[in-house]
Amino acid sequence: MSSTPNAYALSMPDDDPRIAAVAADADAHFEDTVATLVDYLGYPSISCQPDNFDDVRRLAERVRDDVTALGLHNARLLELPDALPVVAAEWLDAGPDAPTVLIYGHLDIQPVERENWHTDPHEGVRSGERLFARGAADDMGGWLSHMAAIAAWFRGTDKLPCNVRLIVEGEEEIGSPNLERFMDAFPVAFDADVMVLTDCENPSTDVPGLTVSLRGLIEVELRCEALGADVHSGLWGGMVPDPALALCQHIAKLVDDDGRLVPGRRPITDEMRSSTSGVPLDDETIRGGAHLVEGVDPLPARGVPPGLWLWRQPSVTVLSTTLPVPGREKNAIRKTASALLSVRLAPDQSAEEMFAALQSAVGGYKPGGVKTTLHMTKAFGSGWLYQPKGPAFDAADRAYVKSWGHKLVRVGVGGSIPFVALFGRRFGDLPLILNGVLDPKSTAHGPNESMHLGVFRKAIAANVYLLDELGRLGKAALQAG
Ligand SMILES: [Zn+2]
């Protein structure tokens, strides 16, 4: 067994000693896996910076070579003009009756603001139970946890329990702009019976998460107009409408006393309540994660689980306004005022539906009688609401019970993840298992990103068991489910 300092007992209770041996072997190689991860983290594969495109490519080539050495077949870079490469590989020797599992991850990373990091962001640094570096949890630890499981299967049995396809893209952090083109150009590389998309969060380091929803996102411009020119507030204040004040009134009217968006709000259903049961999203987690200052509390739950507010209800954020900024003060009523608002959509809500709800709220309110207009300036995409049902999810739960001692808990994401929405649209009839190695303290995209090493160990074990469980299930049972 492992000699790691991480005190996370993996119970590995599989009744089949052969499987338990593979999981134990994966765990015995844990330090080697961490060393490989530290190597990968040394590549500043920042996909939004042209200066780093070569780093993305170098890492893609390295991963291609490494998965070949692991035993996967046909490892290659998929290439398209004006796109960073996708690493693809497969192993299809489990035969036609075995299901094919597609594993997705991404090797590109977010940029870094070095001054806010305590350590070199491109050097894996171990501190306590965590490994710090940009990309540690998002998402290099994610797909590497699959590679480690695959390596253990090959070492122990010279084969895998099911067919596997691997897809590691290089543009996730810029919104996967070319992933659909890759799906169109290389359909066989994506041909599978079940997909494991490993770039999502666990609600805690003890409770594994299965992501089942995303919110959509639009931007709207709210504009108030009353005057042909700015006028003296001493001469006209109190007699004519003030567009700046009307804009503030309008924005305030869109939300309840807690500041939560009212138009488009979803009625709370039993399905919603049960969808977030077992999620350990408590005040302390919210307080720490959102950096609430002393004396400020999370918004009152109002009898609704906090996760529901975040994952299943729309919300609004003021992005910018044309209100006068400091240094530009004058005692005048400004002729117009406008605000750009970002609106998160409920997972099952279309941009059109939300815009119509906002329009009727704005149109029905005339503070001071100003002229008000509302425009949708951007629609970034709708949300995604998934019902995980069937034998693949039962198989996943069994794998997680063996490795984590806990079934996957259904969680949502308050933001939008383009690749998830894309997989949901293209492959929504397949079982999509969205897991990952992130936890609430990972600060993906922020400074001092880290991965919890206990989560990484359990993720590797979970993947060992998941391949076995899906293989045992067989392709026919998967498709029937
Ligand atoms: Zn990611």
Domain annotation covers residue 201: yes
CA–centroid distance, residue 162 to ligand 1 (Å): 26
CA of 336 to the centre of ligand 1 (A): 41
Is residue 306, in this structure, part of any structural domain at all?
A: no
CA distance 339 to 362: 13
CB atoms within 10 A of CB 17: 9
Average pLDDT over residues 143-170: 98
Tokens of 230: 């700015």
**Is the domain of 54 the same as that of 130?**
yes
The CATH number linked to 134 is 3.40.630.10
Sorting pLDDT into bands at 50, 70 and 90, what band is 4?
Answer: very low
For tokens 């590679």, the residue is 147
Question: pLDDT at position 282, please?
Answer: 81
> Is 449 domain-assigned?
yes
Q: Is the pLDDT of residue 418 over 80?
A: yes
Indicate whether 279 belongs to any domain: no
Taking the centre of ligand 1 as the mean of its atom positions, its distance from the CA of residue 240, in whole angstroms, is 51
250 or 364, higher pLDDT: 250
Residue 95 and residue 236 share a domain:
no
Tell me, yes or no, whether 183 and 116 share the same domain: yes
User: If you measure from the C-alpha of residue 139 to the centroid of ligand 1, how many angstroms do you get, rounded to a whole number?
Assistant: 5
Could you tell me whether strands 231-232 and 194-198 are parallel, antiparallel, or unpaired per DSSP bridges?
A: unpaired
| Shared-domain flag, residues 129 and 225 | no
Q: How far does residue 167's CA lie from ligand 1's centre (Å)?
A: 14
| Ligand 1 center from residue 171 Cα (angstroms) | 10
Same domain for 411 and 264: no
Q: What is the pLDDT of residue 9?
A: 52
Q: Comparing 14-18, 80-84, 106-110, 151-155, which segment has the lowest mean pLDDT? A: 14-18
* Overall average pLDDT of the 373-397 stretch: 92
pLDDT in tens, 182-223: 999 999 999 999 999 999 999 899 999 999 999 999 999 999
| Residue 176 CA, ligand 1 centroid: distance in Å | 10
- The Å distance, Cα 20 to ligand 1 centre, comes to 30
Statement: residue 462 has pLDDT above 50: yes
Residue 2 has what pLDDT?
40
Contact 29, 154 (CB under 8 A): no
Q: Do 198 and 159 share a domain, yes or no? A: yes
In a domain, 317, yes or no: yes
* Domain end call among 360, 380, 400: 380
d(CA 24, CA 4): 13
Last residue of a domain, one of 380, 400, 422: 380
Ligand 1 mean position to 213 CA, how many Å? 16
Arithmetic mean of pLDDT over the chain:
93
Of 416, 355, 410, nearest in space to 384 by CA: 416
Distance from the alpha carbon of residue 446 to the mean position of ligand 1, in angstroms:
12
If asked whether residues 28 and 159 sit together in one domain, one would say: yes
- What burial letters (b/e) apply to 455-478, b meaning 16+ CB within 10 Å? bbbbbbbbbbbbbbbbbbbbbeeb
Last residue of a domain, one of 365, 380, 395: 380
Same domain membership, residue 116 and residue 225: no
Q: Is residue 458 a part of any domain in this protein? A: yes
pLDDT digits (tens, 9 = 90+) for 332-355: 999 999 999 999 999 999 999 999
pLDDT band at residue 7 using 50, 70 and 90 as cut-offs = very low
How far, in Å, is the centroid of ligand 1 from the Cα of 136? 10
The band of 1, judged by pLDDT with boundaries at 50, 70 and 90, is: very low
Q: What's the pLDDT score for residue 380?
A: 84
Distance 394 CA to ligand 1 centre (A): 25
Question: 13 CA distance to ligand 1 centroid (A)?
Answer: 31
Q: How far is the CA of 108 from the centre of ligand 1 (A)?
A: 8
| High-pLDDT (> 70) share of the chain, % | 96
> How far away, in angstroms, is 199 Cα from ligand 1 center?
5
Write the burial class of residue 317 (CB in 10 Å: 0-12 exposed, 13-18 middle, 19+ buried).
exposed
Is the Cα torsion angle 201, 207, 211, 213 positive or negative in sign?
negative
CA of 85 to the centre of ligand 1 (A): 16
pLDDT, position 161: 97
pLDDT score at 307: 86
Lowest mean pLDDT among 54-58, 220-224, 408-412: 408-412
In angstroms, the CA 58 to CA 39 distance is 12
Q: How many domains does the chain have?
A: 2
Q: What Rg do the C-alpha atoms of the chain give, in angstroms?
A: 25
Other Cβ atoms closer than 10 A to 436: 29
Is 367 within the bounds of a domain? yes
What pTM was computed for the model? 0.87
What average pLDDT does the segment 120-143 reach?
98
CA of 288 to the centre of ligand 1 (A): 21
Q: How close is the Cα of 173 to the center of ligand 1, in Å? A: 6
**465 with 363, same domain?**
no
Q: Which tokens go with 344?
A: 């998160």
pLDDT at 65 over 80: yes
Distance separating alpha carbons of residues 162 and 366, to the nearest angstrom: 63
Mark whether 322 and 345 lie in a shared domain. yes
**What's the one-letter identity of residue 82?**
D
Q: What is the pLDDT of residues 260-272, one digit of tens each?
A: 999 999 999 888 8
Helices (H) and strands (E) in the chain, counts: 15, 18
Q: 389 and 369, same structural domain? A: no
- How much distance in Å is there from the Cα of 385 to the middle of ligand 1? 19
Q: Per-residue pLDDT tens for 258-304?
A: 999 999 999 998 888 877 776 767 888 888 878 899 999 999 999 88
In 228-383 the beta strands, taken as DSSP E runs, fall at 231-232, 315-321, 332-333, 336-345, 371-381
Check whether residue 177 and residue 98 sit in a common domain. yes
**How far is ligand 1, taken at its centre, from the CA of residue 197, in Å?**
10
Question: What residue numbers bound the domain in which 397 lies?
Answer: 17-213+384-480
Burial 373-392 (b: 16+ CB within 10 A, else e): ebebeebbbbbbbbebebbb
> What distance in angstroms lies between residue 107's CA and the mean position of ligand 1's atoms?
9
The answer to whether residue 364 is domain-embedded is: yes
Tell how far the Cα of 435 is from the centroid of ligand 1, in angstroms.
Answer: 11
Query: In angstroms, what is the span from residue 39 Cα to ligand 1's centroid?
Result: 18
Distance between Cα 368 and ligand 1 center (Å): 47
User: Which residue matches tokens 């010279």?
Assistant: 158
